[in-house]
A = this chain, B = another copy of it.
């Protein structure tokens, strides 16, 4: 016997590599290649450091009200957290307490099974079809909850709102989480459905389309009922999750809709250019609606390309996992970065 007997043991999750090489082209963690809105910089410069002595508003009202405005919902339908990981972790803890398994795809965001293991939630993975699309029928059976990312990661594939609605409507006894971390790059959100389905929780983030991964802001929108339960658990975990700095920069970002539209459109444009170039080099990929492309080459192995890019100081993401170990996930950078990538790939696969 020792104190180790009562320790919660988990297989430690290893976050993706965060290299910091001079001159590197970093296309490995789906960050935005553009800075956040200039209003974010202003908010930071104008912050009164003296106010940091005071607790932040536990209700995060300034950020929640701005999100409610932006998405046309009531503030009582909005929840915020320390990145969408915090929001999702709280949602798993709050909503997934059944003895029936929680369902999610086999190829998906790598944290779902990590949270299930951490909170000892039973789960069952639903294999994607060969083309990486979701078989909606897999989610129409007894379950303790459902989480589906849309677009999916790392595939980039977008599911039609109508298909997701079938899942939500078929599961009135479960909370259905649609994880829309990448929805702003051309996808159509299920957000309008939150008025109709009390069991739907939509999760989004400032880390990708708002260019603020380092500010740690995620949010969820759902029915008043779900948000109330989520807040009850959150207030029992940590009342003050959002710092005064995060609240201020988050609100500032929402004040600049033009900038948001401009950078997301630019990333979509660069993505479509990159798709054409990759195809011309012999790559194939699901038709991505995210800020990355999940590509495989007709001749050269993904792991070899990954290593060769790395030698050229270009970092993409490679997952040594069943079914996807011949794919690379390539974040969309600036046009210049993608030209450099294509030029390197041309050389590597020639």
Interface string of A1-43 (1 = CB under 8 A from B): 1111111111111110010000000100101111110001100
Binding stretch for chain B, among A168-176, A186-194, A339-347: A168-176
- Asked whether A232 lies within 8 Å of B10 as measured between CB atoms, the reply is yes
Query: Which of A83, A117, A174 has its CB near the most chain B CB atoms (within 10 A)?
Result: A83
- Asked whether A231 lies within 8 Å of B12 as measured between CB atoms, the reply is yes
Q: How far is the CB of A295 from chain B (nearest CB, A)?
A: 23
Q: Does A246 have its Cβ within 8 Å of any Cβ on chain B?
A: yes
Q: How far is the CB of A212 from chain B (nearest CB, A)?
A: 5
- Asked whether B82 lies within 8 Å of A241 as measured between CB atoms, the reply is yes
From B47, B53, B94, give the contact of A213 (CB < 8 A). Answer: B53
Q: Does A322 have its Cβ within 8 Å of any Cβ on chain B?
A: no
From B44, B50, B89, give the contact of A36 (CB < 8 A). Answer: B50
A333, B36: Cα distance in complex, Å: 38
Q: How far is the CB of A284 from chain B (nearest CB, A)?
A: 29
Q: Does A265 have its Cβ within 8 Å of any Cβ on chain B?
A: no
From B5, B86, B173, give the contact of A241 (CB < 8 A). Answer: B86
Q: Does A242 have its Cβ within 8 Å of any Cβ on chain B?
A: yes
From B15, B51, B174, give the contact of A235 (CB < 8 A). Answer: B15
Interface string of A276-293 (1 = CB under 8 A from B): 000000000000000000
Q: Does A57 have its Cβ within 8 Å of any Cβ on chain B?
A: yes
- Asked whether A55 lies within 8 Å of B214 as measured between CB atoms, the reply is yes
In the complex where A212-B52, A213-B54 touch, is A83 in contact with B240 (Cβ < 8 A)? yes
- Asked whether A53 lies within 8 Å of B211 as measured between CB atoms, the reply is yes
* Copies per assembly: 2
Query: Which residues in B have their C-beta under 8 angstroms from that of A9?
Result: 229, 232
In the complex where A238-B85, A244-B214 touch, is A233 in contact with B53 (Cβ < 8 A)? no
Q: Does A129 have its Cβ within 8 Å of any Cβ on chain B?
A: no
From B7, B26, B144, B211, give the contact of A97 (CB < 8 A). Answer: B7
- Asked whether A18 lies within 8 Å of B53 as measured between CB atoms, the reply is no
Instruction: Name the residue on B nearest A239 (C-beta).
Output: B15
Q: Does A124 have its Cβ within 8 Å of any Cβ on chain B?
A: no
Instruction: Name the residue on B nearest A230 (C-beta).
Output: B7
From B55, B96, B243, give the contact of A245 (CB < 8 A). Answer: B243
Q: Does A199 have its Cβ within 8 Å of any Cβ on chain B?
A: yes
Q: How far is the CB of A296 from chain B (nearest CB, A)?
A: 26
A interface vs B, CB < 8 Å?
1-15, 18, 26, 29, 31-36, 40-41, 44-45, 47, 49-58, 82-83, 85-86, 89, 93-98, 114-115, 117-118, 144-145, 171-175, 198-199, 207, 211-216, 225, 229, 231-233, 235-246, 249
A-B residue pairs, 7 tightest by C-beta: A41-B49, A35-B50, A214-B244, A245-B245, A15-B239, A6-B98, A12-B232
Provide 19 A-B residue pairs closer than 8 Å at the C-beta atoms, listed in order of the A residue.
Answer: A2-B172, A2-B173, A8-B97, A12-B231, A14-B235, A26-B54, A31-B54, A34-B53, A49-B249, A51-B214, A53-B214, A54-B213, A55-B213, A56-B213, A82-B238, A86-B237, A215-B244, A245-B246, A245-B249
